Copies of this chain bind each other. A is one copy, B any other.
């Protein structure tokens, strides 16, 4: 790897673990740590839509920092949404409360794909500004850049709204390989540019979320999806930063998700980390995978589960502790703070 742009975080536990260096205790952060579980987030979001919050640099920066201050996690994750790059590229999309991203028009035809616009440096300005503001306040604590992977982005575009079965997506994937290729290539490029802008503004690590890849069989992932995720990481090849790759329900896909060029594989709560490590030949740093259901159990029960995750994580060369999924909105934030203190040896 080349030298990373943000050198002040190079000795942080998170960056070390992400580059395969075993740490005494695992660095910890939580997927969706910035968000609805925090009263200060609900307060600051009042009267603002989700996409407005993502695209107003001062707001996005403040929301990104809130959980770092409150929980003392070992990394910030840039507050954004998977569809933000779509919005920046001019796609008509809104995030509807209690539903999720909804497109004015689903994108399902060659003609609709041909009309998609490229991202420009100008359109990425709100992202660069927000990241810069965050990084200036984080000092030697790293910021993790955030983007959705091409399959997940394309699913939202093709379905036009959240889906449980991705039937329109799969219908296009199986029926019209040319349009599929054009759409996923476009999605890979905006996703790569979106991550690249975050790294150039100071993010030290990135995480690519392929939230819905777990809906696919391994043969379908390998034949029809993998190369586009590799293309995302290709946009970062010269930047020398570690790349985390995560998908819900992706236990069957772990090897392929590594092979697209990931340095760290995120594992969801379904697959014990020692099993995941074994599946990957014990050669890949892992991230995960506290079962979010335990956040609602008594502290002793939760603590014993966290211990178990840490012990299993030792089967990997290095381990970043996280949940196996995003923080549920109904989580008591004090529980998250307590986990961090416990893992940091302060309890």
- Say yes or no: is A196 at the interface (Cβ < 8 Å to chain B): no
In the assembled complex, which residues on chain B have CB atoms less than 8 Å from the CB atom of A171? 293, 296-297
- Say yes or no: is A255 at the interface (Cβ < 8 Å to chain B): no
Which residues in chain A, 198-229, are within 8 Å of chain B measured between CB atoms? Answer: 214-220
In the assembled complex, which residues on chain B have CB atoms less than 8 Å from the CB atom of A62? none
Find out whether the CB atom of A271 lies under 8 angstroms from the CB atom of B296: no
CB-CB nearest in chain B for A270: B217
- Among the listed B170, B251, B301, which residue makes an inter-chain contact with A294, where contact means beta carbons less than 8 Å apart? B170
In the assembled complex, which residues on chain B have CB atoms less than 8 Å from the CB atom of A297? 171, 174-175
In the assembled complex, which residues on chain B have CB atoms less than 8 Å from the CB atom of A217? 269-272, 291
- Say yes or no: is A128 at the interface (Cβ < 8 Å to chain B): no
- Say yes or no: is A92 at the interface (Cβ < 8 Å to chain B): no
CB-CB nearest in chain B for A289: B217
Interface residues on A, range: 35 or more
In the assembled complex, which residues on chain B have CB atoms less than 8 Å from the CB atom of A296? 167-168, 170-171, 174-175
CB-CB nearest in chain B for A216: B270
Q: Report Cα–Cα, A293/B163, bound state, in Å.
A: 13
- Say yes or no: is A41 at the interface (Cβ < 8 Å to chain B): no
- Say yes or no: is A238 at the interface (Cβ < 8 Å to chain B): no
Q: Report Cα–Cα, A269/B167, bound state, in Å.
A: 13
- Say yes or no: is A178 at the interface (Cβ < 8 Å to chain B): no
Q: Report Cα–Cα, A169/B291, bound state, in Å.
A: 13
- Say yes or no: is A113 at the interface (Cβ < 8 Å to chain B): no
In the assembled complex, which residues on chain B have CB atoms less than 8 Å from the CB atom of A169? 293
Find out whether the CB atom of A270 lies under 8 angstroms from the CB atom of B219: no
CB-CB nearest in chain B for A331: B167
Find out whether the CB atom of B252 lies under 8 angstroms from the CB atom of A270: yes
Q: Report Cα–Cα, A291/B175, bound state, in Å.
A: 14
Q: Report Cα–Cα, A167/B175, bound state, in Å.
A: 37
CB-CB nearest in chain B for A168: B296
- Say yes or no: is A330 at the interface (Cβ < 8 Å to chain B): yes
Find out whether the CB atom of B330 lies under 8 angstroms from the CB atom of A167: yes
Kindly provide the distance from the CB of A257 to the nearest chain B CB, expressed in whole angstroms. 14
- Among the listed B170, B252, B301, which residue makes an inter-chain contact with A291, where contact means beta carbons less than 8 Å apart? B170
CB-CB nearest in chain B for A330: B167
- Say yes or no: is A317 at the interface (Cβ < 8 Å to chain B): no
Q: Report Cα–Cα, A272/B222, bound state, in Å.
A: 13
Q: List 15 A-B contacts (CB under 8 A).
A: A167-B296, A167-B330, A170-B292, A171-B293, A171-B296, A171-B297, A174-B296, A175-B296, A175-B301, A215-B270, A216-B270, A219-B272, A249-B249, A251-B251, A252-B270
List the 4 closest A-B pairs by CB distance, nearest first: A170-B293, A171-B296, A174-B297, A175-B297
**Residues in A lying within 8 Å of B, measured CB to CB:** 165-171, 173-175, 214-220, 249, 251-252, 269-272, 275, 291-294, 296-298, 301, 305, 325, 328, 330
Q: Give me 12 other A-B pairs in contact (C-beta within 8 A), A170-B293, A219-B272, A252-B271 excluded.
A: A165-B292, A165-B293, A165-B328, A168-B296, A169-B293, A170-B291, A170-B292, A171-B293, A214-B270, A215-B270, A218-B275, A220-B291
